[in-house]
Structures are given as structure tokens and as C-alpha cells.
Amino acid sequence: MTHKPLKEEQKIITAIEKLPFAAEDRTAWIETIQKFGLNEVLVKEIMGKIATLPRGEDELNVARSGAELNRLIQSWRLSTNLGGGKHKHT
């Protein structure tokens, strides 16, 4: 059964697409979110990869986008926790 991404999850997908993650990681994460929804295991994997992103000439934009993704993840956590546990965090 395909999961319909929540508003917060859709924003996270957009933020993931903006950052220079490896193509295979980006694709796998987006497919997982679209099929099953976001979960804490996936969040930890994404957050771990943010720290290792290449900075280069675009360091400021990468830092801003990383901070935005972090903020969106915090918003997602808050909304799912306030939602009465409707979403399973694994």
C-alpha cells in the first residue's frame, strides 16, 4: 500500500532534493518516504549524511539548506508526536 506523504514529509522531500546528497541515497530516501512515510531510522540516516555533505564553493547555500531540512524534520517530529501517535516511528 502506498503512503500519501504528509505536508511536512512533502516539504522534507523538497529539501532533500535541494541538497547535494548522493543520487542513490536521495532516490532511496524519497521512495521510502513516498511509500511508507518518514520514520526515525530514516531521519537519523539523513541527519548523519548532512554532516558529510561536500561544501565547496556553495558552502553557504548547503549550510542554509541543511538547516532548513533540520527545521523541517523537527516540525515533522512535533506534528507526529502531537498527532496522537498516528505514525509509527521505527
Per-residue pLDDT of the chain (90 residues; tens, 9 = 90+): 567 778 899 999 999 999 999 999 999 999 999 999 999 999 999 999 988 887 777 888 888 999 999 999 999 999 888 765 555 554
Are 2 and 56 in contact by the 8 Å Cβ rule? The answer is: no
Are 36 and 87 in contact by the 8 Å Cβ rule? The answer is: no
Task: Note the pLDDT of residue 82.
Answer: 78
Task: Note the pLDDT of residue 55.
Answer: 73
User: Nearest-5° angle of CA 51, CA 10, CA 24?
Assistant: 50
Task: Note the pLDDT of residue 40.
Answer: 94
Whether the model pTM is above 0.85: no
Task: Note the pLDDT of residue 5.
Answer: 74
Task: Note the pLDDT of residue 46.
Answer: 95
Task: Note the pLDDT of residue 53.
Answer: 83
In angstroms, how far is the first alpha carbon of the chain from the final one? 18
Are 35 and 3 in contact by the 8 Å Cβ rule? The answer is: yes
Q: Which three cell numbers stand for residue 51?
A: 554532516
